[in-house]
């Protein structure tokens, strides 16, 4: 069935969905942009080709279960699925319409890859969205650059989480399985052994390689040949030919591409944290605080340093907890909470204290920057609405200071959307949360950033690690 016939068959007599145009094509489906007339909302409709439509009851149940599970993912970097149905003999999925261009098309226009700083912003968002799905037990299984939509300001939305497993049929032949996207398959997936979330981490490693170099690691004459190169061949040394690529970035990509899952990053969150550390290497000392070089004229002729508060006698003093103030060995239990609204500050403070952390307060951005070198917290939590300097600008200033650049920063954003999320990542935030989110989400995020896992590459690590081998060459 060709595209025109598929379009006519699906939309014939359809009283709910109105066709607008075609926005995507694949070997097994066509994606239309349409209007849900019941909701009066523009959506994307993925219609499976007739040969791919689901007829078996067990597979249909699994497919619906995966979609229902996907709905639990509430993250700006994951596109939302709405529902699954069948119409005129065709299976379809409705999902959030994401304006933008898929990453694959962007790379087709950038054959030498993207600038490193832009690549890191995109890759961190892919990791964060993937981690959100993994936290619900959902593995993508088909992560690839064409499943990543890049919107305005380099916002990222990952498509099709959970659908690969939902469509999986254990009776398919190897040739049929390989009709997927073997260029991004983890070695264990290519040979048909059971996989876990680390297969997705390998796929992100392939995307990272592609984004930085402009090409995937392996190509071949047929899908099976490509898949088995992931199993048997060393990762090409293409990254070595890009002088702007620092060793830590190359090591992170090679670690994600390790053939042995045990050698890869244990979680997508670990991969993201390492990319964030790399991003700090590229930006530390390179950015200037937003109010620099010239202060606002009302502040007088003297130019205050970017890291100090403007001179005033009325500036409030930070509230410290005396019993544990500056206590040795407790840096990683101290949180600097930057919040102008007294009620919101009281609520967040109580949540953090109840979780066992020492809380220090600042009520605006300038005050926070003045306090940081002195109180040395293990985490900074900033509401972006603080006066003086916004939370985004404070984050940029922190990343510009070598003495502060490693501090983890969580931004609280009202009505958090993809654009704000991407902008926060570009500014250097480790994570962004909806300011109206749950207490559990807030304390979990704080706990995760205060006690990070060890992410450093082992001393002496090299490209050999990407093949899952030890220093003696043994697997």
Which active-site residues does the annotation give? 142
Give the pair of three-digit tokens for residue 326: 């500056």
Residue 131 contacts residue 78 (beta carbons within 8 Å): no
Residue 5 CA to residue 8 CA, distance in Å, equals: 5
**Opening angle at CA 259, ends 255 and 262, nearest 5:** 70
Give the pair of three-digit tokens for residue 435: 């300011």
* Exposed/middle/buried for residue 9 (C-beta within 10 Å: 0-12, 13-18, 19+): middle
Residue 313 CA to residue 353 CA, distance in Å, equals: 30
Give the pair of three-digit tokens for residue 162: 């959970």
DSSP 5-21: HHHHHHHTT-SSEEEEE
Residue 436 CA to residue 385 CA, distance in Å, equals: 13
- Helix (H) or strand (E) segment spanning residue 149: strand 148-150
Q: Is the peptide bond before 387 cis (omega within 30 degrees of 0)?
A: no
Give the pair of three-digit tokens for residue 201: 């981490």
SS3 335: strand
């Amino acid at each position: 069935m060709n595209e025109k016939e598929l379009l006519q068959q699906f939309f014939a007599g359809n009283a709910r969905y109105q066709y607008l145009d075609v926005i995507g094509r694949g070997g097994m489906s066509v994606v239309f942009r349409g209007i849900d007339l019941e909701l009066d909302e523009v959506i994307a409709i993925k219609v499976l080709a007739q040969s791919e439509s689901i007829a078996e009851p067990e597979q249909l149940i699994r497919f619906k279960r995966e979609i229902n599970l996907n709905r639990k993912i509430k993250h700006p970097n994951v596109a939302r699925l709405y529902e699954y149905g069948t119409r005129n003999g065709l299976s379809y999925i409705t999902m959030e319409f994401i304006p933008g261009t898929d990453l694959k098309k962007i790379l087709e226009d950038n054959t030498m890859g993207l600038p490193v700083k832009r690549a890191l912003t995109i890759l961190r968002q892919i990791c964060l969205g993937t981690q959100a799905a993994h936290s619900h037990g959902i593995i993508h299984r088909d992560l690839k650059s064409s499943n990543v939509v890049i919107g305005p300001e380099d916002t990222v939305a990952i498509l099709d989480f959970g659908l690969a497993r939902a469509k999986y049929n254990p009776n398919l032949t190897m040739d049929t399985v390989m009709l997927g996207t073997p260029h991004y398959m983890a070695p264990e997936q290519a040979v048909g052994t059971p996989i876990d979330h680390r297969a997705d981490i390998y796929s992100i490693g392939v995307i990272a390689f592609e984004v930085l170099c402009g090409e995937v690691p392996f190509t071949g004459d047929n899908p099976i040949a490509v898949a088995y190169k992931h199993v048997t061949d060393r990762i090409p040394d293409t990254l070595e030919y890009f002088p702007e690529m620092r060793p830590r970035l190359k090591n992170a990509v090679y670690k994600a591409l390790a053939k042995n899952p045990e050698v890869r990053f244990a979680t997508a969150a670990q991969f993201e944290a390492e990319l964030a550390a790399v991003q700090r290497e590229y930006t530390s000392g390179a950015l200037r605080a937003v109010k620099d070089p010239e202060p606002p004229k009302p502040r007088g002729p003297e130019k205050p340093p970017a890291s100090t508060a403007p001179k005033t006698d009325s500036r409030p003093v930070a509230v410290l907890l005396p019993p544990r103030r500056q206590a040795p060995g407790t840096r990683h239990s101290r949180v600097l909470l930057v919040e102008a609204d007294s009620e919101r500050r009281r609520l967040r403070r109580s949540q953090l204290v109840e979780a066992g952390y020492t809380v220090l307060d600042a009520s605006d951005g300038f005050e926070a920057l003045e306090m940081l070198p002195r109180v040395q917290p293990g985490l900074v939590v900033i509401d972006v609405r603080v006066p003086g300097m916004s939370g985004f600008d404070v984050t940029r200033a922190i990343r510009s200071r070598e003495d502060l650049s490693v501090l983890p920063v969580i931004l609280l954003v009202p009505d958090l959307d993809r654009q704000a999320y991407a902008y926060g990542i570009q500014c250097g935030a480790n994570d962004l949360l909806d300011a109206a989110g749950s207490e559990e989400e807030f304390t979990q995020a704080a706990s995760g950033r205060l006690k990070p896992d060890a992410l450093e590459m082992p001393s002496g690590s090299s490209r050999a690690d990407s093949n899952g081998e030890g220093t003696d060459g043994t697997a």
